[in-house]
Amino acid sequence: MDYYSNQIRKLIDELSRLPGIGTKSAARLAFHLIHMPVPDVKRLAGTMVEARENVRYCKECCTLTDQDLCPICANADRDHKTIMVVENTRDLAAYEKTGKYEGVYHVLHGAISPMLGIGPGDIKLKELIARLEKEVDEVIVATNSSLEGETTAMYISKLIKPTGIKVSRIASGVPVGGDLEYIDEVTLLRALDGRTEL
């Protein structure tokens, strides 16, 4: 038996398609939206549409931005000779919250996973290799400590080592199977400070 009208059901169904949102959470969000003032709902909807239409990849590091270059790549005070490779923009944000890393980033938008059919050509690896043609001293591989993250780290190391550029891996402190975006800043700093060469 359906308790909700067609419009409410449709809204709940759309919200429940979002990652991490189950039916109960979707219903809670739907009723919250319905009770919001109409101008607030329109502003929220407009912001979502604008973000989807205007956000793109940074031409340098491939993170998400609404400019040609993200604020980090555009910052001349950052160390552009040190590149930290992360799996996604949320991982970049996690390291930025520490306030201690002064280099730049490269966002892969995934990790190599033969089980899921994701190969080296499916992530932003060729863009990383192109960046190494500029003056780069070190590449810090900060992929997750999962099987996919470790596979990606080893692949990157094998690609870069012949160039003579130093390749390092973040140290322990990041638990195996843990996602960087959920790890506290102190643990991330320990992992960064204790990184080892691959």
d(CA 136, CA 130): 11
Q: Rounded to whole angstroms, how far apart are CA atoms 13 and 22?
A: 10
- 87 CB-contact burial (10 Å; exposed 0-12 / middle 13-18 / buried 19+): buried
pTM of the predicted protein model: 0.77
Say whether 95 sits in a helix, a strand or coil: helix
Give the whole-angstrom CA distance, residue 198 versus residue 143: 13
Tell me how far apart the alpha carbons of residues 66 and 127 are, in angstroms, rounded to a whole number: 19
Domains identified in the chain and CATH numbers: 6-54 (1.10.8.420), 57-197 (3.40.1360.10)
| 33 exposure class (CB count in 10 Å sphere: 0-12, 13-18, 19+) | middle
* Alpha-carbon torsion, ordered 8, 10, 13, 17, to 10 deg: -120
Note down pLDDT in tens along the chain; length 198 residues: 467 788 999 999 999 999 999 999 999 999 999 999 999 999 999 999 999 999 999 999 999 999 999 999 999 999 999 999 999 999 999 999 989 999 999 999 999 998 889 999 999 999 999 999 999 999 999 998 888 988 999 999 999 999 999 999 887 666 767 777 877 776 777 677 777 777
CA distance 5 to 25: 18
Q: Output the six-digit token pair for 151.
A: 């596979």
**What does residue 73 show for φ and ψ, rounded to 5 degrees?**
-65, -30
